[in-house]
A and B are shown apart, each in its own frame.
Chain A
Amino acid sequence: QQKVQQSPESLIVPEGGMASLNCTSSDRNVDYFWWYRQHSGKSPKMLMSIFSNGEKEEGRFTVHLNKASLHTSLHIRDSQPSDSALYLCAASHYAQGLTFGLGTRVSVFP
């Protein structure tokens, strides 16, 4: 069973719209969450990280974290075609390797 569950599997968003992605860990030992973005044919790049309960905003991207439910969400406002990519959620504990989810594929159409 996947330890990091992401939903939805895919998302189609109109340009200028809002994309909302979800991620939950089933591992109670997890302390930290990460969001990575991977454009087609490229390697993943870290987008945002969140370690504390609450919200963190960077430009058009906002992440939320609820540590009690081990749930994080990523919101992209004013979506652009360049935001079309695979979004990977990852969780980690201490110095162990990050565990990734299967990803949400976001397609932004003009």
Chain B
Amino acid sequence: GGIITQTPKFLIGQEGQKLTLKCQQNFNHDTMYWYRQDSGKGLRLIYYSITENDLQKGDLSEGYDASREKKSSFSLTVTSAQKNEMAVFLCASSNLQGAATGQLYFGEGSKLTVL
């Protein structure tokens, strides 16, 4: 089996600050994702990447940048953190980039608090 590691687990920043979340997977999956989950609600897609150096915007990409430096890692940057922006950011990966996405495997999440 594999694992997805997200760092940091908890991130506290100031309003307007640039903050970066990192994600590593050892499944050797092609596709990686960043989702945001507010208050125990559903997940909203921020960015995904189907291969190294590829980036695709999701519905919630405004205010975020992403980078897929290598197959195993995918980072997400909050370009200017907003006050009271409390959410859990979930990284995921999947195999298959063909006719269907494979099952997603999620990391444990990074909880962001903006003061």
A44 to B45, CA, bound (A): 14
B contacts with A, residue count (CB < 8 A): 27
Q: Which residues of B contact A4 (CB under 8 A)?
A: 42
| Chain A proximity mask over B91-115: 1 for CB below 8 Å, otherwise 0 | 0000011111101101111000000
Say how far A55's CB is from chain B's closest CB, in angstroms. Answer: 19
Q: Judge whether A43 and B90 touch: CB under 8 Å.
A: yes
Whole-angstrom distance between the Cβ of A4 and the nearest chain B Cβ? 8
CB of B43 within 8 A of CB of A95, answer: no
Q: Report how far A36 CA is from B90 CA in the complex, Å.
A: 14
In the complex, are the beta carbons of A94 and B45 less than 8 A apart?
A: no
Q: Is A102 engaged at the interface, CB distance under 8 Å to the other chain?
A: yes
Verify B108–A43 contact, CB threshold 8 A.
yes
Q: Which stretch, B12-20, B21-29, B33-41, B72-80, touches the partner chain A?
A: B33-41
Residues of B at under 8 Å CB distance from A?
31, 33, 35, 40-45, 48, 50, 56, 58-59, 90, 96-101, 103-104, 106-109
Further contacts, 15 of them, CB under 8 A, given A46-B104, A96-B56, A100-B44: A2-B42, A4-B42, A32-B100, A43-B107, A43-B109, A95-B96, A95-B101, A96-B101, A97-B33, A97-B48, A97-B56, A97-B101, A99-B59, A102-B41, A103-B40
**What are 27 A-B pairs at a CB distance below 8 A?**
A4-B42, A31-B100, A36-B104, A43-B107, A43-B108, A43-B109, A44-B43, A51-B100, A86-B40, A92-B100, A92-B101, A94-B100, A95-B31, A95-B97, A95-B100, A96-B48, A96-B56, A96-B101, A97-B48, A97-B56, A97-B58, A98-B101, A98-B104, A100-B43, A100-B44, A101-B42, A103-B40
